[in-house]
Structure 1
Amino acid sequence: MDEYQNFPGIDVDRLLKIAEQQVAQAEEAQKALSAVVGRASDADNLVHVEFGGQGLRELELRPKAMRLGSEELAEKIKATIQAAVADHQARVEEAMVEVYGEEDNPMRLVKDPDAALDRLRSAEAAYNRTFDSVMGELTAISRRLDL
């Protein structure tokens, strides 16, 4: 098996180590994201909202809020939910930066589709180079074995 360690020029041990690190990072990110909660209150402190990965977690209306007209209360609730969602998103981004770092943060790709396409094109080019290299090696082996 040792003779295949660098076939063709691939460090299998390094590749496995990178894969293990990525799995560990993904597990860490999943754990961190499950604990993220966005919170917001309106300016009058009448509506309080908590928003998590599963959606709206908590909606608290202070008794004084019930004195508002239905339209005004509805607007306060909607605005506070939007603020809690924005807070949640900011906290998700912070958690992802903690796990992956600024450069490797997958959230960057969501915000910058052009960068995502560039990374996909780069991955495709790497795949094509690897495929061509493997096929070249297989062709050479085939010739040596007279197949």
Structure 2
Amino acid sequence: MREFGDFANIDIDKLLSGAESHFAQMGGMQEDMAKVVGRAQDEDELVTVEYAVEGLRTLDIHPKAMRLSSSELAEKIKAVLQDAAQDLQVRMSAAMGETFGEEMNPMKFIANPDAAMGQFNSAQDAYKRTFDDVMGELDRIRRRLE
């Protein structure tokens, strides 16, 4: 009897242990992501921000900042907040790069949706080819058994 092509040579134990390892990595990464904090401060050191996954963690305003107009202070806070959020994204990308490797870093796809769609389409095509191969092989087996 003819075997299922490459599928007959799959080491199921290795496949399962690899999946378990990936799930453990993901669990550890989730814990690490909860600890990542982006930080920023303006050049005058009047506004300091810490930004985390849950959002704004701390906002420190130096008393000297009260000398600024309300619109100047608001602009300074928004700019520093944006810098802290960007710092958080950079730190998260680095952490995910360590876990997944730079080639499959999910943060890379957030910044470049076209690359994400390319990867998705490529995976979809590979799945379709594999599915078609398996179904063809199963059909050949069915015909032999009849």
Tell me the TM-score normalised to structure 1 length: 0.84
Determine the structure 2 residue equivalent to 1:24. 24
Determine the structure 1 residue equivalent to 2:34. 34
The 5 Å alignment of 1:1-147 reads: 7-146=7-146
Q: Which moved more, 1:66-75 or 1:16-25?
A: 16-25
Amino acid aligned to 1:53: V
Q: CA RMSD in A?
A: 2.1
1:36 to 1:86, Cα distance in 2 relative to 1, 3 A: same
Q: Which moved more, 1:15-24 or 1:72-81?
A: 15-24
In 1, the alpha carbon distance for the partners of 2:117 and 2:111 equals 12
1:115 to 1:28, Cα distance in 2 relative to 1, 3 A: same
Using the TM superposition, give the Cα deviation of residue 7 of structure 1 relative to its aligned residue in structure 2, in angstroms: 4.3
* Structure 1 spans left out of the alignment, 5+ residues: none
Q: Which moved more, 1:32-41 or 1:15-24?
A: 15-24
In 2, the alpha carbon distance for the partners of 1:59 and 1:36 equals 17
Using the TM superposition, give the Cα deviation of residue 9 of structure 1 relative to its aligned residue in structure 2, in angstroms: 4.5
* SS of alignment partner, residue 39 of structure 2: strand
* SS of alignment partner, residue 103 of structure 1: helix
Using the TM superposition, give the Cα deviation of residue 30 of structure 1 relative to its aligned residue in structure 2, in angstroms: 1.0
Tell me the TM-score normalised to structure 2 length: 0.85
* SS of alignment partner, residue 96 of structure 2: helix
- Superimposed CA distance per residue, residues 117-137 of structure 1 (whole angstroms, 9 cap, x where no aligned partner): 221122112111221122122
1:10 to 1:132, Cα distance in 2 relative to 1, 3 A: farther
1:109 to 1:54, Cα distance in 2 relative to 1, 3 A: same
Q: Percent identity?
A: 54
* Structure 2 spans left out of the alignment, 5+ residues: none
Using the TM superposition, give the Cα deviation of residue 25 of structure 1 relative to its aligned residue in structure 2, in angstroms: 2.5
Q: Which moved more, 1:87-96 or 1:60-69?
A: 60-69
* SS of alignment partner, residue 141 of structure 2: helix
> Is the helix fraction higher in 1 or 2?
2
